A = this chain, B = another copy of it.
Amino acid sequence: MNNQPILNKYWSSVCRHIDPYVPGEQPKGTKLIKLNTNESPYPPSPRVLEAIRNAASEDLRRYPDPFSDELRKAAADYYGIGLKQIFVGNGSDEILAFCYLAFFNPGERILFPDITYSFYPVYSKLFGIPYKEVALTRDFYVPIREFMTDNHGIIIPNPNAPTGRFLDTDSLLTMVNYNLDCGKVIIVDEAYIDFGGDSLISFINRFPNLLIVHTLSKSRSLAGLRIGLAFGSEGLIEGLFRIKNSFNSYPLDRLAIAGAAEAFRDREYFEETRGKIIRTREWIEKELAKIGFIVIPSKANFLFVAHKNVSAADISSKLREREIYVRHFKKPRIDNYLRISVGSDEEMEFLLKNLREILGAYKG
């Protein structure tokens, strides 16, 4: 719909000038292998589905709890923190948008990496927050020292997307501590933290400027339910509630609250499925290296890879002919890389078989 925007005289100045985010394709079809949007190959917990079915009752005629207390309590229990240290939203994207309104000021420049989640610059344009993109190193490391400089806010995803690289806790905390006195908020977007990285949640009591953002879309297999969470000091959380309550009283519906709360209660299923994804990733990393891919070490549920001989654009389009979808970002510095979601072992076997065939044709 947005390929050729018609300039419309009724649009606001912001609406004319923004450059909307384009999510990964959601092709319709049952046979295809979809490794382009980092969804889980495993279904949600059966207990989550049951909780949702139970919530599909006549109570739907009632508004939901505007504070989503059931969900916030379940998450508080899971992480061992206080109810007032948790905010929930309609996906982590909505929470990130609220963060721009709650913590950043128009005209005051924030920092985030140059290669990262491509929604960050979109929010900046929507809300008039200037930004500086801090260049990753050649090997796609976040240069943490360059965030220890004059700024009015920082967003760092950890693990980073689309690279998958994880930044150690000590480096991050040194940076958070450096920025403590300037009164600006550091947002650590931990969308992919459950796949082997260490969360900073346990440090929110020590750093009142630290906000951690999570999602249930990846490690809890609930992309279709739209649940994000934020963890931070009571002041930061209250700031997010002030914005939410000035935007939409009830961003989470009754079904989402019930299902997401149950997702936190079913620890066993969560541990089992994320463990499988980590093991598949560790195996497929080696297999991809064997057939000539450079693989950036990943702590996420995807791999960021480049082939030594064949271009990412070629591989991507040939995979698509075989109904295998991976993500190719046509952006400077990363246009020869592919981001491949970690699917089930069967999906990965099928991917490898097809990659071998595609690459074999180039040798001949």
Which listed residue (B9, B42, B254) contacts A225, Cβ 8 A?
Answer: B254
Interface centre among A10, A37, A42, A125 (most CB of B within 10 A): A10
Closest B residue to A64 by beta carbon equals B224
Instruction: Say yes or no: B40 contacts A243, CB within 8 Å.
Output: no
Chain B nearest CB, measured from A268 CB (Å): 18
The residues in A between 35 and 69 inclusive whose CB is less than 8 angstroms from any CB of B are 37, 39-44, 48-49, 52-53, 56-67
Q: Is A109's beta carbon under 8 Å from chain B?
A: no
**How many angstroms from the CA of A226 to the CA of B62 in the assembled complex?**
10
Alpha-carbon distance between A249 and B226 when the two chains are bound, in angstroms: 10
Contact B12 A246 (CB under 8 A): no
- Given A126-B247, A248-B91, CB of A224 within 8 Å of CB of B62: yes
- Assuming the contacts A37-B63, A60-B44, asked whether A226 and B250 have C-beta atoms less than 8 A apart, the reply is yes
Closest to A217 in B: B63
User: Could you tell me the distance between the alpha carbons of A235 and B1 in the complex, rounded to whole angstroms?
Assistant: 11
Q: Mark A1-31, 1 if CB is under 8 A from B, else 0.
A: 1100110111111110011111110100000
Decide: B53 and A56 in contact? CB cutoff 8 A.
Answer: yes
**Residue in B26, B126, B259 whose CB lies within 8 Å of A63:** B26
Q: Are B39 and A6 interface neighbours, CB within 8 A?
A: no
Complex: A102 Cα to B12 Cα, angstroms: 5
Contacts of A84 in B (CB 8 A): 1
Beta-carbon contact of A12 and B101 below 8 Å: yes
Q: Quick check: is A221 within 8 A (CB to CB) of the other chain?
A: yes
Asked if A93 CB lies within 8 Å of chain B CBs, one says yes
A242 contacts B by Cβ under 8 Å: yes
Copies of this chain in its oligomeric complex: 2
Contacts known (A52-B255, A238-B1); A20 close to B221, Cβ less than 8 A: no
Q: Is the CB of A221 within 8 A of B12?
A: no
Of A26, A48, A84, A122, most buried by chain B (CB within 10 Å of CB) is A26
- Bound complex: CA of A103 vs CA of B20, how far in Å? 16
A12-B105, A97-B248 as given contacts; A23 in contact with B239, CB under 8 Å? no
Cross-interface CB contact of A15 among B37, B102, B253, cutoff 8 Å: B102
A66 nearest CB neighbor, chain B only: B23
A23 to B102 alpha-carbon distance, docked (Å): 20
Q: Give the residue among A41, A90, A246 with the most B Cβ atoms within 10 A.
A: A246
Instruction: Determine the distance from Cα of A248 to Cα of B94 in the docked complex, in whole angstroms.
Output: 6
Identify the closest chain B residue to A254 (Cβ): B224
Instruction: Bits for A219-254, please: 1 = Cβ < 8 Å to B, else 0.
Output: 001111110000000111011011101111111111
Cα separation A209 to B246 with both chains bound (whole Å): 26
Residues of A within 8 A of B (CB): 1-2, 5-6, 8-15, 18-24, 26, 34, 37, 39-44, 48-49, 52-53, 56-67, 84, 90-91, 93-94, 97, 101-105, 122-123, 125-126, 183-185, 208-209, 217, 221-226, 234-236, 238-239, 241-243, 245-256, 259
